[in-house]
Structure 1
Amino acid sequence: MYNRTRIRIVATVAAAGIAALGLTACKSGDGGTVTNKPKTSASKPGGKKPAAKKTAAPDVAKAGDTISLKGMEDGSKLDGTVVKVADPAKSSDEFTTPDSGKRFVGVQFKLVNTGTATYTDSPGNGAQITDADGQQFETTFADITAGPSMSSDVRLKPGAKALGWLVFEVPKTSKAATVQFTMDSGMADQTGEWKLS
């Protein structure tokens, strides 16, 4: 009797410890931050140099703007830029099409490793689009005519960069409002957000 009770207590304590470790690993309850403040503003069409007087950076990041992000590990940092948006985006083959009543939206991202650690991730896992009604949509596997897709296995040494399209499938009636990107397959505490419309 004594041994069974002791085994149950040890098992209960072990289970509680494992659950606590799981919550810590998932960063549950830590909360995160969403930043939409650009590091640099979008360049002006036509390649004209800005006027000599200083102008304030835009309040909200949009296509062309860069947001600096931090990952979970020490030295894990990226500059993320939404380069272009294709809405609607056209499939590059006849076999991959959006479901009935939906369309593809493509967002071209440029990622530059500004940290001291190697960045290894599948960027599509940490991206999502939100429409004007607040509905959120994750990436889908599709190639579009706008250009090459972002690799699903990006490995960047410090100073290296990656460029590619992430594709989202959204209802035809939805108005894409923002796109978000979070390092570490969406697990990092800091999320960058760009306004699309």
Structure 2
Amino acid sequence: MRRILGGLAVAGVLLAATACQDDSVKTAPASKAPAASEAGTTKASPSAAKKAGLGDTITVTGNEDGQKLDVTVTKWADPAKSSEEVFVPEAGKRWVAAQVQLVNTGSAVYSDSPSNGMQVADEQGQRFGTMAVDVTAGPSMASALKVAPGDKALGWIVFEVPKDSKITTIQFAMNSGFADQTAQWAIK
């Protein structure tokens, strides 16, 4: 009897610990309300959710109460070209860029530098940070951003990567990358 009770106690602790954990990487796009014509359809199970890609929106939360963003990687430029001829990538490297839209769906002002919380990864798992450079693809994302609840921001974020790297994912986390939740998009 003692062995059974001990086993149940261990199972209970494991179940409680699992229930308190949050997925650190969100790859499925945020669900959207069904259109009127979809009212009779059923949703796919969460395990059947596709990986997020360009154009998909992922909802992330920050470490403080009221911090919540809908984040969409809207476009991808590979390679990205500088808007000023004097700036070029280091030897053996190239620039790539993502156009990102942030919509503040929380109750607190989003005040951060989005590029601090972004990185790209290649097919080998190598990760690369951002560069402060303007590209011909369009206007850069502001580095010191303040977005009130209900407002949005749109801009390009640039990364410097090795010339022969095949970039496969983009990641974003709030709070300059220190938030517990991370959003991830596949690049094809």
Amino acid aligned to 2:167? A
1:5 matched to which residue of 2?
none
Percent of residue pairs bearing the same amino acid type: 53
**1:166 maps to 2:157:** yes
Q: Distance in 1 between matches of 2:22 and 2:70?
A: 22
1:55 CA displacement: 7.3
With over 3 angstroms needed to count, the CA separation of the structure-2 counterparts of 1:83 and 1:58, relative to structure 1, is farther
**1:125 maps to 2:116:** yes
In the TM superposition, 1:18-167 aligns within 5 A as 33-40=24-31, 56=44, 58-167=49-158
Secondary structure of the residue that 2:115 maps to in structure 1? Answer: helix
Q: Of the candidates 152, 174, 180, which is equivalent to residue 183 of structure 1? A: 174
Contact 1:40 1:65 in 2 (8 A): no
1:133 CA displacement: 0.7
Secondary structure of the residue that 1:162 maps to in structure 2? Answer: strand
Tell me the TM-score normalised to structure 2 length: 0.80
After superposition, give the CA deviation of every residue in 1:39-59 in whole Å (9 maximum; x if it has no partner). 158xxxxxxx9x866675851
Secondary structure of the residue that 2:54 maps to in structure 1? Answer: coil
1:37 CA displacement: 0.8
Amino acid aligned to 1:76? Q
1:121 CA displacement: 0.2
Q: Distance in 1 between matches of 2:86 and 2:173?
A: 30
Q: Distance in 2 between matches of 1:61 and 1:31?
A: 18
1:32 CA displacement: 6.8
Q: Distance in 2 between matches of 1:191 and 1:59?
A: 16
After superposition, give the CA deviation of every residue in 1:27-74 in whole Å (9 maximum; x if it has no partner). xxx997011010158xxxxxxx9x866675851000000000000110
Q: Distance in 1 between matches of 2:109 and 2:147?
A: 6
Q: Distance in 2 between matches of 1:70 and 1:109?
A: 16
With over 3 angstroms needed to count, the CA separation of the structure-2 counterparts of 1:58 and 1:144, relative to structure 1, is farther
1:192 matched to which residue of 2?
183
Secondary structure of the residue that 1:124 maps to in structure 2? Answer: helix
Amino acid aligned to 2:182? T
Structure 2: tracts of 5 or more residues without a match: 1-20
1:144 CA displacement: 0.5
